[in-house]
């Protein structure tokens, strides 16, 4: 293995069937972690698990909808039972799409908030007791630059990510003296299956869309780029970083 920063550490990762979650699971396993992956897509999870095992990594996992507290309790319980504890939680599960404000119905609002914000509350609420028992226990949540400013045609997604940022800060403060860290990574555009849902429609006002696109067409991040940022925050190299929103966006927000 090229590195062993996470040797003998157990990591629980949501949204691991594709995109950022899968890339993060692959990286942590390559660096020695025991990885438990969760997602609503059984097929995607199987692909992630097979990829990690083929590379010699230690992995297990199961289907879990993070919007359900009962499902999260069962899933994290399985991870703790399988690996004997939990050291790191990574919340990469996320949903959303570009939509005019008047097009967002209550069901879609509830689903986006339920996965992106309430889902992270569920996993953190269940995982905290286990993370507090682990030296260097910490949480990394995947927010977005959409949580740091308003964006037209993204009201529900922006609201969920802004809420996640402040939820993370609250957890970071409350548990800092007990040795538990919590941070956010805030990516810009990343080439994942989710990004297809945010392609602006032809009738969107260009001046309202252009300012949150990457500075140049080639400046689209890859899942592996964000995974490396997540791994840094979760490692002992970042032991002084707590309650942070680490932006990784090629300067888009700047």
Name the residues annotated as catalytic.
Answer: 157
Cα separation, 154 vs 158, in Å, equals: 6
Give residue for tokens 């691991």: 16
Residue 225 · residue 248 · CB < 8 Å: yes
């Amino acid at each position: 293995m090229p590195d062993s920063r996470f040797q003998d550490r157990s990591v629980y990762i949501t949204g691991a069937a594709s995109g950022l979650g899968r890339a993060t699971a692959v990286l942590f396993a390559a660096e020695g972690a025991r990885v438990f992956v969760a997602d609503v897509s059984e097929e995607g999870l199987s692909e992630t698990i097979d990829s990690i095992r083929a590379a010699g990594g230690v992995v297990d996992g199961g289907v879990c909808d993070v919007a359900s507290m009962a499902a999260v309790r069962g899933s994290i319980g399985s991870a703790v039972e399988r690996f004997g504890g939990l050291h790191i939680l990574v919340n990469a599960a996320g949903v959303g799409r570009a939509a005019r404000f008047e097009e967002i119905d209550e069901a879609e609002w509830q689903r986006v908030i339920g996965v992106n914000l309430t889902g992270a509350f569920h996993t953190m609420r269940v995982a905290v007791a286990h993370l507090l028992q682990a030296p260097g226990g910490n949480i990394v949540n995947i927010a977005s630059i959409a949580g740091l400013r308003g964006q037209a045609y993204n009201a529900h997604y922006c609201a969920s990510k802004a809420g996640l940022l402040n939820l993370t800060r609250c957890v970071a403060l409350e548990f800092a003296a007990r040795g538990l860290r919590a941070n956010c990574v805030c990516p810009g555009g990343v080439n994942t299956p989710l990004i297809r849902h945010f392609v602006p429609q032809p009738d969107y006002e260009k001046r309202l869309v252009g300012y949150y696109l990457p500075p140049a067409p080639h400046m689209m991040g890859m899942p592996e780029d964000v995974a490396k940022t997540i791994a840094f925050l979760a490692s002992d190299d970042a032991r002084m970083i707590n309650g942070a929103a680490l932006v990784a966006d090629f300067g888009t927000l700047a």
